[in-house]
Structure 1
């Protein structure tokens, strides 16, 4: 393990992370980022499939498993289940994202584990939640995004519903689960007892769906895909430049006036078609066309500087190379370079949010399978070298 140690507001708390892929492990990453001692439990000889994910090179593991200790444990065996109970006795949280009912099948449900550790907070992330007629179904993030309503709104109206380009449903459910865990931790300070956090992917997506449901129930309106524009809010769109695209958001009256000045068309601000928020919304398409005909004559960088000088929110559509080169990213250390035994140029997003008194940090990248078996089973659980060797020989670890 790297000599550097995690720091942050959660230092001193221990998390046992079960499950795999994104929905549970991203919750563990958030907690490890802020100093929690996260022990990731993986199947011996197999490990989390995330170890193999990444475009061109399997680098995603470096991010989602950073700051975590990796141990191997076969939870399908009696020995493995007993060892998990030993770990739970020394833990504050347990994260799992198996199909609902899996832990109960192994005799590791909350009722049993809370008898071992009444203060345990169990974080359960699943497709449909722990109750209800769909709870036993297999559920991936993409299905939760569809069922929660996000997929229907993603993309251009001329195409089928789109993916947003990220596993956003999984990450939302994990983030909500982490938020719930902090609420439960506060309550434990009051009662001394833990509880279960039930974070369903489709409900985490649903929580982000703004006023789409009351728009239907009260106004019989169903939102549909609108592409890059926010309907009836103008100008706020992606506009062409001579070398790419730029996003300009100048929908407020005063900001629109400043945009008109920057365009050399101050009269547009008082034109009845564009003078008010409502009027601009009614003439959104023609206003976007007018602005686009102007922006396409300049490079994006020139327009970005011009908008900044006139107090108009604007920005290029960033990709990874843009982020690496941006001075603001550098000044705030939004990206961090980490040493890695196999990859010499690993950069990744830094810890977020930033805390002024107890900042987190990336101490190490995702470790090899079982890298911390001796530390966790020997030092934490007090098992001898002989006991650890016997567990390994039996395939338990």
Structure 2
């Protein structure tokens, strides 16, 4: 079980400590980008709409145990201070600009042109703040014929090609079971911010980072994208099989399923020798990976009864002993109970101000000198409004009361 982190009063200590992010993001792509920066030590001011906040606060059920907070929101909003601010009001825009003046990085995922209407677009802020790093994450980027369209994960998965590659050969196109289009956009956004910080370190100049979800989606088509570019042919859906390696797929066992991943010819020959399939080593249809790819159906048909003859545990034990790639198909319950997952510290419990604890998936980046820093649990809506406006802008209790009366905060 992970230890509970009581970190509310700790100062940032990661590699980005001393930097401030003005966070105008919501839902997933933007918040995941900012959480990465926050985990690396940046101080984050998360701006949320008074009364409702980030859309994902309402994405329930489920809620985190012992709270009314959505699990969805909790997953990408640790290490952030929540400030409620209505940037559609002139007073809210003035406060936003004052906070931006004290920030190093601004991340936003509004539709193209929305923030410009509030005087908060990059072109409006850059002359006054030339060192500001401004990262925009949208569905289709700032230019092109689709720039003004809204972007949603399933829409991007459909348009970006991954759904045409995912699913059974004779089945319907299938999206990935987690919002990968959002998450990859967030990761590329964080990478862009880190590169821009290095540039600013050398030159003093900030810049605008333009992240389009469709762009990042096309970028991670990886070998399948290259397969198309090399052949001009649309890769077919292969279910759980690999387009370039055979056998590298799911097989049914006597009592379930496992993944068998044989990545080269010597390993395939070793598999055959160990499990009574020596005759395949001399068969030209099986001898090389290229031949096995060309005879994919035959390889699968030949190995299916072999794998089905024993239990999953029998296969996993013997394959692991032979150093042949294999693995169980875990449920999430099994994932979070896995000895390797636990040993690597992939879960973290964070104490909330009310004494309850929230369990989160940890950041996977392992830095030897400046480790990831867990300081703040996912915030309640507006939890830090008074603190931030007092500490950073010097607003008095009277000032804040007037802003609340007018719905600005």
Regarding TM over 0.5, the answer is yes
The residue that corresponds to 1:28 in the other structure is 34
Which of 85, 90, 93 is the matching residue for 2:97? 85
* TM-score between both structures, scaled by the size of structure 2: 0.91
Aligned-residue offset at 1:346: 4.2
Q: Which runs of 4+ in 1 moved over 4 A?
A: 211-218, 340-346
1:44 equivalent in alignment to 2:50: yes
1:10 equivalent in alignment to 2:16: yes
Aligned-residue offset at 1:255: 1.1
* Partner deviation per Cα, 1:239-276 (whole Å, 9 max, x = no partner): 11233211111131111122223423334333332111
Point out which structure has higher relative CO (alpha carbons under 8 A, 6+ apart).
2
The residue that corresponds to 1:318 in the other structure is 330
* Partner deviation per Cα, 1:318-351 (whole Å, 9 max, x = no partner): 2211122211111111222333579967433211
Judge conservation of contact 2:265–2:288 (CA < 8 Å) in 1: yes
Partner SS, residue 237 of structure 1 = strand
Partner SS, residue 333 of structure 2 = helix
The residue that corresponds to 1:114 in the other structure is 126
Aligned-residue offset at 1:290: 2.6
Aligned-residue offset at 1:286: 2.2
Written as runs of structure 1 = structure 2, the 5 A alignment for 1:123-134 is: 123-134=135-146
Judge conservation of contact 1:188–1:194 (CA < 8 Å) in 2: yes
Gap regions ≥5 residues in structure 2: 1-6, 64-69
Is the alpha carbon distance of 1:315 and 1:55 closer, same or farther for their aligned partners in structure 2, counting shifts above 3 Å? farther
Gap regions ≥5 residues in structure 1: none
RMSD over aligned Cα, in angstroms? 2.1
Partner SS, residue 315 of structure 1 = strand
* TM-score between both structures, scaled by the size of structure 1: 0.94
Partner SS, residue 375 of structure 2 = coil
More moved, 258-267 vs 38-47: 258-267
Judge conservation of contact 1:262–1:306 (CA < 8 Å) in 2: no
- How many residues align? The count is 397
Partner SS, residue 386 of structure 1 = helix
The residue that corresponds to 1:261 in the other structure is 273
Judge conservation of contact 2:162–2:175 (CA < 8 Å) in 1: no
Separation (CA, whole Å) in 1 of partners of 2:372 and 2:325: 30
Is the alpha carbon distance of 1:54 and 1:274 closer, same or farther for their aligned partners in structure 2, counting shifts above 3 Å? farther
Aligned-residue offset at 1:59: 1.2
The residue that corresponds to 1:380 in the other structure is 392
Aligned-residue offset at 1:77: 0.2
Separation (CA, whole Å) in 1 of partners of 2:270 and 2:334: 27
Written as runs of structure 1 = structure 2, the 5 A alignment for 1:265-280 is: 265-280=277-292
